[in-house]
Amino acid sequence: MDRSTSPASRRQFLRRAGLGTALAAVVGPAAAFPLSSTEPAMQHADQKKIGFAIVGLGKFATEQMMPAFKETRHARIVALVSGSPDKAARLAREYDVEARNIYTYQNFDTIRDNPEVDVVYVVLPPALHAEYTERAARAGKHVLSEKPMAPTVAECQRMIAACQQAGKKLMIAYRAQYEPFNLEAIARIRRGELGKLLQITADHGRIVDPVGDKADTWRVVRKMAGGGSLMDIGIYSLNAARYLTGEEPTEVTAQEMTDKSDPRFKEVEDRIHFTLRFPGGTLATCTSAYSIQQVKRFRAFGSQAWLDLDPATDYDRHRMTIGDKDGQHEPPLKEGNQFAAELDHMAECVLQNKTPKTPGEEGLRDIRLIQAIYEAARTGKAVKV
């Protein structure tokens, strides 16, 4: 039963889903009836799924995120937006997307007329996030945007405003915040299992290879990426420091090390190290790099124990180690599909009219901090934030 083919079942779905009048505006007057917020959100989770349009069919989208839809409970791919008709057609076949639901960047705005699309997932280079978020919101769609949210604070603010004005959800795809090992780390810290949280070290790096890997081409172009390793991968160190402490830092310092004779780093930074002081007394020391072999790890040090994730923010094969006065051990944890959990969260926020756990404001906070880190690196001075 596809709600796009049956207005009656669609209305029934909306009623069951507890959606408000905002979404009703999208599907037309027939659906514009009041819905009680106390109605159960989803009586049968498998009956209906929120439709996602994927904007940008790059390596990350096609290799990591799109396959995860197969493991979601509430999310499905209903539309594709691409500048490459062949690739779009191939993926449409693979994901059972109807040919009429393939869009180009030129006709993207007509997506407003497609009631199958509930959420637009923007998987473009950062410099395009604001534009496509605003266009999606104007088309009456909820938005899930990849991180970094956008290169500048002003763009982030425009994205938030656009979705607010349209009455639409805005979520930033901080996948690590939906990943089981990271959630377990946060839970253990909140329960006080490490004692007082005193120190965090977080290191994220990889080799950026714009010549050998087409997916990296835009990453070294400032006007597309907005910055270098910090925007792209160091943001995991930054975001982890924030979700592990559950606090906002008050001061940042930074040192940059970029070999400007390396053609990759003409426009964007390579290595940047930064520290974050948190009001509760935690100091986070973070690294970000585009020239070292892959590392994605953090360790949280408490007064009683430390907790290590290495890798912490990979796609899979996470490993947690706890160290305390009795030695070290690795709690048995089950790997889970972080992308599926993230997509289901977005779908549930739409279905249940909830604010996403990682809303636009979360993305904006990181961008403010990233700009402060750049300033600290440039000036050599601690920057209050």
CB of 175 to its own copies, least distance (A): 22
Q: State yes or no: residue 302 binds its own copies (CB under 8 A).
A: yes
Return the DSSP state at 359. B
Decide if 271 contacts 258 (C-beta within 8 A): yes
Q: State yes or no: residue 331 binds its own copies (CB under 8 A).
A: no
Secondary structure class of 327 (helix, strand, coil):
strand
Q: State yes or no: residue 257 binds its own copies (CB under 8 A).
A: yes
Nearer to its own copies, 3 or 277 (CB): 277
Binding mask 346-375 for its own copies (x = CB under 8 A): ------------------------------
* Phi (first) and psi of residue 115, to 5 degrees: -70, -10
Q: Which residues in the 275-294 window bind its own copies by CB under 8 A?
A: 275, 277, 281-283, 285, 287, 289, 291-294
The count of residues in the chain is 385
Site size for its own copies (CB under 8 A): 38
Extract the tokens encoding 300. 């949280």
Q: State yes or no: residue 305 binds its own copies (CB under 8 A).
A: yes
Q: One of 48, 147, 169, 296 is an active-site residue; which one? A: 147
Extract the tokens encoding 12. 């029934």
CA 23 to chain centre: 23
Does the active-site annotation cover 147? yes
Does the active-site annotation cover 243? no
Rounded-to-integer distance, Cα 33 and Cα 11, Å:
9
CB of 59 to its own copies, least distance (A): 17
Q: State yes or no: residue 295 binds its own copies (CB under 8 A).
A: yes
Q: In whole angstroms, how far apart are CA 185 and each of 182, 309, 312, 330? A: 5, 8, 10, 12
Whether the bond into 311 is cis, omega within 30 of 0: yes
Q: State yes or no: residue 48 binds its own copies (CB under 8 A).
A: no
Q: One of 95, 236, 290, 374 is an active-site residue; which one? A: 236
Nearer to its own copies, 270 or 366 (CB): 270
Q: Candidates 271, 318, 345, 365: give the one binding its own copies (CB under 8 A).
A: 271
Q: Which residues pair with 299 in a beta bridge?
A: 201, 308
Q: State yes or no: residue 273 binds its own copies (CB under 8 A).
A: yes
Listing DSSP states for 185-241 in one string gives HHHHHHTTTTSSEEEEEEEEEEE--TTT-GGGGGGG-HHHHSSSHIIIIIHHHHHHH
CA 276 to chain centre: 21
CB of 17 to its own copies, least distance (A): 44
Please name the residue that has the structure tokens 């996030």: 129
Q: Which stretch binds its own copies (CB under 8 A): 163-171, 215-223, 254-262, 361-369?
A: 254-262
Q: Which residues in the 169-228 window bind its own copies by CB under 8 A?
A: 198-199, 201, 203, 205, 207
Q: Candidates 104, 110, 255, 355: give the one binding its own copies (CB under 8 A).
A: 255
CB of 270 to its own copies, least distance (A): 8
Contacts of 121 (CB under 8 A, 6+ apart): 52, 53, 54, 55, 65, 143, 144, 145, 146, 173, 346
Instruction: List residues near its own copies by CB under 8 A.
Output: 198-199, 201, 203, 205, 207, 253, 255, 257, 259, 271, 273, 275, 277, 281-283, 285, 287, 289, 291-295, 299, 301-306, 323-325, 380-382
Q: Which residues are catalytic?
A: 147, 236
